[in-house]
Amino acid sequence: MTNHLTHLDANGDIAMVDVSAKTATTRTATATGQVIFPADIYTAIKNADGMTKKGSITQTAYIAGVMGAKRTSDLIPLCHPLPLDSVKMSFDYDDSHHAITVTATAKVTHKTGVEMEALTAVSVACLTIYDMTKALSHDIVISDIKLISKTGGKSDYANA
């Protein structure tokens, strides 16, 4: 199997992938990332159940993640605009890493996948958490944003 960059045409020029000949199928993608805090800040956030003077960080990040997924094609130049069927977000406290783990699953019935939408949802949610907590510390790290799995289309993928 030969790997090639799908956003380059035969001449090596940038091109949006032509999906017109593809069949619409149900496609999902799940991505994850972490927002890592200094130990004392993490403990304070967890003890406050994620509530700050600005409101709930996870509820706000949930909405931001969904909005980010919906706007992916406005942010990533060669992404197709997709009529998303759903975007689900989850937020888990990770005591061993002093982190909030953000997970997003995007779903669509279309001719192209939703990996970028899931990754964008996680990225925007992590940035929102940073924004809502940066008054507590600037020693916050956004880390390990990655695709976990995808289904539908030409091939499935699962990151072990």
Q: Which residues are annotated as a binding site for substrate?
A: 78-80, 116-117
Active-site annotation holds for 9: no
Angular region, 70: left φ>0, alpha ψ -120 to 50, beta rest: alpha
Find the catalytic residue in 131, 139, 144, 156: 131
CA distance 79 to 111: 12
Q: Which residues are annotated as a binding site?
A: 78-80, 116-117
Quick check: helix, strand or coil at residue 156? coil
Quick check: helix, strand or coil at residue 28? strand
Instruction: Name the H helices within 3-160.
Output: 39-47, 57-70, 72-75, 115-133
Of the candidates 98, 102, 114, 103, the residue with the CA atom closest to the CA atom of residue 45: 98
Find out whether 140 and 75 touch, Cβ atoms under 8 Å. Answer: no
Which residues are known catalytic residues?
Answer: 131
